């Protein structure tokens, strides 16, 4: 069975302004690298559907969904951009992009659970892991991974799912949404202190947070993942694994000061695959989060996808 690759043209049309690191060209960089490497031909491509707002409301407060929906639809109608916070901006396409990014994650979940793909990667933006239950922040509007995880639990009837987050920034939004939801185990590693300046103390008993100082190298990060994530995942026996796949812990990425390279992303993906094969029938849905050095992003996504696709 192939690895599914989901995206949507509107994810590229969401634009937060000149010079913003979370830029449309990130998706081009991934696409270019998939074409150059030939890997793109090995994946089964799907155009994402927009998310059903009932799915969004499984992770976000109904009032927040209504409020951000009004604001973003206002931008779409007027064509005028709006600032959401000092780092986060909406343009006329943000509403559609956010709905298709979350929709991709839900659709990927269904593809994998229906046995139509072994696993899936969502090449989407805006990213999601900073979006809390009732707030957009840090380039994020809807928490794509949390929405998909709740869909797997509430709609598809799974009992235990894991969320793995290796973005350089702490996934505070995902933590906010799933803290103390005993059906979810979240394991993460992130630079600390760094935006959003929390995560040092986990918010729930179902979180394994591994904060690491700036300039930590790949070998040390692998040791910490092996010692802290793996026993927790093994005990939890997730029936499906969701990945917040941020590639901004790469040594060439200026938004963080960690020193991962492509081989580390390959290794992390192999470790996730190993747990998924033992407990989850191999079921993995991975969603793009950060990654701002365009070259490093393209190469790292290729390394991640090559392992997922078993190539």
By the criterion CB under 5 A, which residues form the site for Zn ion?
A: 167, 169, 246, 248, 290
Q: Residue 197 or residue 231: which is nearer to Zn ion going by CB?
A: 197
Is 304 considered catalytic here? no
On the 0-12 / 13-18 / 19+ scale of CB atoms within 10 A, 22 is: buried
Q: Is residue 92 left, alpha or beta, with left meaning phi > 0 and alpha meaning psi from -120 to 50? A: alpha
Q: What are phi and psi of 52, to 5 degrees?
A: -80, 130
Least Å distance between CB 254 and Zn ion?
Answer: 12
* Alpha helices per DSSP H over 205-279: 218-224, 230-236, 262-279
Tokens of 168: 């350089």
Which residue's Cβ has the minimum distance to Zn ion? 290
CB 305 within 8 A of CB 265: no
Least Å distance between CB 165 and Zn ion?
Answer: 9
Tokens of 103: 């929709």
CB 190 within 8 A of CB 168: yes
Least Å distance between CB 293 and Zn ion?
Answer: 12
Query: In sequence order, what E strands does 24-156 have?
Result: 44-47, 82-85, 88-90, 119-122
Q: Residue 189 or residue 309: which is nearer to Zn ion going by CB?
A: 189
Least Å distance between CB 84 and Zn ion?
Answer: 17
Query: Which residue in 8, 46, 130, 151 is the catalytic one?
Result: 130
Catalytic residue numbers read 130
């Amino acid at each position: 069975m192939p690895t599914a690759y989901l995206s949507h043209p509107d994810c590229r049309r969401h634009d937060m302004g000149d010079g913003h690191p979370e830029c449309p060209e990130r998706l081009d960089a991934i696409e270019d690298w998939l074409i150059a490497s030939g890997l793109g031909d090995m994946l089964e491509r799907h155009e994402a559907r927009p998310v059903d707002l009932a799915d969004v409301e499984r992770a976000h407060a109904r009032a927040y969904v209504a409020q951000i929906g009004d604001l973003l639809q206002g931008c779409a109608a007027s064509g005028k951009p709006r600032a959401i916070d000092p780092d986060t901006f909406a343009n006329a396409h943000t509403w559609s992009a956010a709905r298709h990014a979350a929709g991709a994650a839900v659709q990927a979940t269904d593809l994998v659970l229906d046995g139509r793909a072994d696993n899936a990667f969502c090449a989407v933006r805006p990213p999601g892991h900073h979006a809390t239950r009732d707030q957009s922040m840090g380039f994020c509007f809807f928490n794509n991974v949390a929405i998909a995880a709740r869909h797997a639990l509430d709609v598809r009837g799974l009992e235990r799912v894991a969320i793995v987050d290796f973005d350089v920034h702490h996934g505070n939004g995902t933590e906010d949404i799933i803290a103390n939801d005993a059906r979810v185990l979240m394991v993460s590693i992130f630079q600390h202190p760094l935006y959003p300046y929390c995560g040092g103390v986990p918010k729930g008993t179902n979180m394994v947070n591994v904060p690491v100082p700036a300039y930590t190298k790949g070998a040390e990060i692998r040791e910490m993942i092996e010692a802290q994530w793996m026993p927790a995942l093994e005990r939890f026996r997730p029936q499906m694994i969701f990945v917040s796949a941020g590639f901004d812990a790469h040594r060439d990425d200026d938004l963080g000061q960690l020193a991962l390279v492509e081989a580390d992303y390959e290794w992390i993906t192999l470790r996730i695959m190993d747990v998924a094969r033992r407990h989850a029938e191999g079921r993995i849905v991975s969603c793009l989060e950060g990654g701002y050095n365009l070259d490093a992003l393209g190469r790292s996504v290729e390394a991640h996808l090559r392992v997922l696709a078993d190539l």
